[in-house]
Structure 1
Amino acid sequence: MSTAATLRPGARRRSDRLWFWVFTGPFVVGLLVFVYVPVLWSVYLSFFDARNTVTPTSFVGLGNYAYLLTSREFLLSMATFVGFAVLIVPTTFALSLGLALLVAPARVAQAFFRSAFFLPTACSYVVAALVWRLSIFNGARFGLVNSALRALGLEPVGWLSGEHYLYWVVLVTLRLWLQAGFYMVLFLAGLQRIPTDTYEAAALDGATGWRVVRWITLPQLRATSVAVLLLLTVGAFQAFDEFYNTLTQVGTYPPYARPPLVYLYLVSLGQGTQDLGLGSAGTVILTVVVAVLGIGQLRALRERGDGARTRRRKTPPEPFDRLSTGSVEGPRRGRRS
C-alpha cells in the first residue's frame, strides 16, 4: 500500500493543506508585496506632501485631491481619456465582433485566421507605437501612408502635428491592430456556446442575415458583450504607451497627448518636483472613476436586459423573437375550421 493510503484522514487533510500553501504561497506573497501593499501605501501617501521621496513629510489631508479636481491640466487629461474612449470602445467592439462573425462559420483554415488576427496581441505597445510613428504615419514624405497619398496625387499630411486632430486616426488604428484579435477570440468563444439547433430553426423559418444576428446571435452574446465592454473601458483608461511613444516629442508634451496616466507619470516621475503625494491622489481618483464606470455599465446593461425580458413576456413574440429564446416553433398557421 502507498504512503498516502496509510495516512489517517486528519493527517491527509493537513498534508493537503501543506502542499496547497507550498504551491500557492509564492503567488500570495508576490500579490501582497507587489500589488496590495503598494496600493494601500499609495492611498496613505495621497494624504501627505511627498516630494522626491516615498516617505510622507507633512500631512495635507484632502489638499492633493482638491488641487487635482480643480487643476486645468488634470481635467484636460480626463477629457482626453473621454475622447479616446468614445472612439476606441465602439470601434474595437464592432470590429472584433465582425471578425468573429466572419471567422466562426469558416470551414477551411479557421485556425489560421484565428492565429493571424490574434498574433498582434503579443506585440509590445511600445514597439507598435514606434512603428506607427516612424514608419506608417510618419509626417515626412517617406511615411507609408503619405507615400500612398502621394501616389494618388494627394498632398502628404502631418498626422502627428496635432493641428487637425488627425492624430486620433493614428491612435485608434494602433489600438485596433493591437487588441481587436484578442476580443475576437472572446466573441468566438461566445459564439461556440450558441446551440446549432437554434440556427437550424431560424433557417426553417426563413430567417437569414441580419435577422439571425439581431434575434439570435446578439442576445446569446450578452454576457460576452458585457465583459468586452468593461475590458475595453478599463483598457482605454490605461492608455499610456501609444500616447507617450507616438505623440510626445523629445522634451515636449503637448496637452492633447496627456491622458490621465501620462499626466500622472509626468507629475510623479517625469518632472523635477516628483510630487508622489499628488500622483498617488491621482491614482486613487482614477481607480474610483473606473469603478463607478464599471458598476454603471453593469447596472445599465442589466436593466436593459431585464426590460427586454419584461417586454417579451407582455407582448406575444413574433416568429423571429421566439427564435432568439431558443424556440424551434415555426410561424403559426391559420386555425382550422
Structure 2
Amino acid sequence: MGAPTTTRRRPGALLDRPAWAFWILAGPFVIGLAVFGYIPILWSVYLSFFEARNTVTPTEFVGLRNYADMLTSPAFLDSLLTFTLFALFIVPTTFVCSLGLALLVNQARWAQPLLRSVYFLPAACSYVVAALIWKLSIFNGVRFGLANTVLGWFGLDNVAWLAVTDPPWYWLVLVTLRLWLQVGFYMLIFLAGLQRIPVTLYEAAFVDGARRGWTTLRHITLPQLRATSAAVLLLNLIAAYQAFDEFYNVLGNDGAYPPYARPPLVYLYYTALGSGQDFGHGSAGAVILALLIAIVTLTQGRLLGFGRNHT
C-alpha cells in the first residue's frame, strides 16, 4: 500500500481565486471611495433635513424647510440661472473646438504623438495655477498685462478686465481660461473615436465619388462619432455646473467674492463655510444641485442616445 499523496499548494494559488484577487486589488480603493465619497454624501443628505449651524452635528429636525429656503433664495436661483447660461455657451464651444482640433491632429502626417502631448498639456495644469496666471499675468488690468499689451499695439486703451461689470469683460477671462484647460482633454476623447473609424468607410466613399471635407465629415465622421459626442457633451455639462476653482481664484479677493458670476459651488461654499457656517442649508443646496445635474444629464443622455449601439 503506497504512501498517501499530499497536494502541495503552489505559491500564489490563493491569488488565483477571483474573490480574493478582487478584494486584494480593489479593496483599498473601495474603502477610500466609501470613506471619502459615499459617507460624506450620505451625511450631507442627512444634514440637509436638520438645523446645523457652526457644527456638523444636527441639532433640530426641520424637514424640507432648508430645501424650501434654498429654492426661494434669489442668490441661489441666480447662481443656477447664471451658470445654466454659462453651460449653454461653454459646452458647444468646447465641443466644436475640441472636435476641430482632433480632426487637425488626426490628419497630421508626422509628429502626431508630439501634437497630442502639446495640446493635452494644459489639462494637466492645476486650475488654481492657471487661474492665477490668467488673473495676474494675462488679464490683470494694467498696461503690463499681456492682453492690454496687445491692445496697446493697436492704439487701444487698457481694459480693466476684472474690475468692471458693464461690459462684463470678466466672462472673457473665465471662458478663455476654461477653454484652455479642457479643450485638450476632450480632443483626446475625440481623437480616440476618430481612430476607431474604419478606413474602409472613407475608401468606399471616395470610390463612390464623395469629396473630402464636409461631405465625409457629415455622412461618415459625425455619425460614427455619435457615442463619443454624447460622452463629451455629458462630461462637459457636468464640469460646467461643478465649476469652482478658476472662478473662485479669478474673482475672489481677500476672502470676498462679488455677487455676479457666482457659480453654485462658490455660493454653497460661502453658505456652509462662511461666517454663518450653515451646513443645513449648504447641504440642501448641494443635494438640489446634484439632482439638477443628474436630471439634465439623464435627459441629455436619453436625447442623444448615450449607451445605445449605434453600429
Deviations 1:45-89 (A, max 9, x none): 000000010100001100100000000100111122112212211
The match for 2:141 among 136, 139, 142 is: 139
Deviation at 1:157, TM superposition (A): 1.0
| Greater mean deviation of Cα atoms: 249-258 or 165-174 | 249-258
1:231 maps to 235
**Which amino acid is 1:279 matched to?**
G
2:124 maps to 122
Q: Secondary structure at the match of 1:85?
A: helix
The match for 1:177 among 176, 180, 204 is: 180
1:165 maps to 168
Work out the CA distance in 2 between the residues paired with 1:257 and 1:81: 8
**Residue segments in structure 2 that go unaligned for 5+ positions in a row:** 1-6
Deviations 1:213-232 (A, max 9, x none): 01110000000000000000
The match for 2:156 among 141, 154, 157 is: 154
Deviation at 1:25, TM superposition (A): 1.5
1:253 maps to 257
1:217 maps to 221
Work out the CA distance in 1 between the residues paired with 2:220 and 2:175: 30
2:272 maps to 268
The match for 1:46 among 45, 48, 59 is: 48
Work out the CA distance in 1 between the residues paired with 2:137 and 2:8: 65
Contact 1:202–1:208 (CA<8 Å) still a contact in 2?
no
1:188 maps to 191
Contact 1:81–1:236 (CA<8 Å) still a contact in 2?
yes
Deviation at 1:2, TM superposition (A): 7.0
Deviations 1:122-153 (A, max 9, x none): 10000000000000011111110001101110
Return closer, same or farther for 1:191/1:50 CA change in 2, 3 Å cut-off: same
**Which amino acid is 2:301 matched to?**
L
**Which amino acid is 1:240 matched to?**
F
The match for 1:291 among 284, 291, 294 is: 294
**Which amino acid is 1:3 matched to?**
R
Q: State, as a whole percentage, how many aligned pairs show the same letter.
A: 61
1:332 maps to none
Contact 1:51–1:273 (CA<8 Å) still a contact in 2?
yes
**Which amino acid is 1:277 matched to?**
G
Q: Secondary structure at the match of 1:255?
A: coil
1:3 maps to 9
Deviations 1:83-137 (A, max 9, x none): 2212211111000000000000211111111000001111000000000000001
Return closer, same or farther for 1:103/1:2 CA change in 2, 3 Å cut-off: farther
**Which amino acid is 1:87 matched to?**
F
Work out the CA distance in 2 between the residues paired with 1:4 and 1:280: 53
The normalised TM-score by structure 1 is 0.85
The normalised TM-score by structure 2 is 0.92
Deviations 1:232-288 (A, max 9, x none): 00000110011111012224321113110000000001x211000111001100110
Return closer, same or farther for 1:3/1:94 CA change in 2, 3 Å cut-off: same
Q: Secondary structure at the match of 2:243?
A: coil
1:200 maps to 203
Q: Secondary structure at the match of 1:298?
A: helix
Contact 2:271–2:279 (CA<8 Å) still a contact in 1?
yes
Return closer, same or farther for 1:12/1:62 CA change in 2, 3 Å cut-off: closer
Deviations 1:175-204 (A, max 9, x none): 111110000000000001111011112222
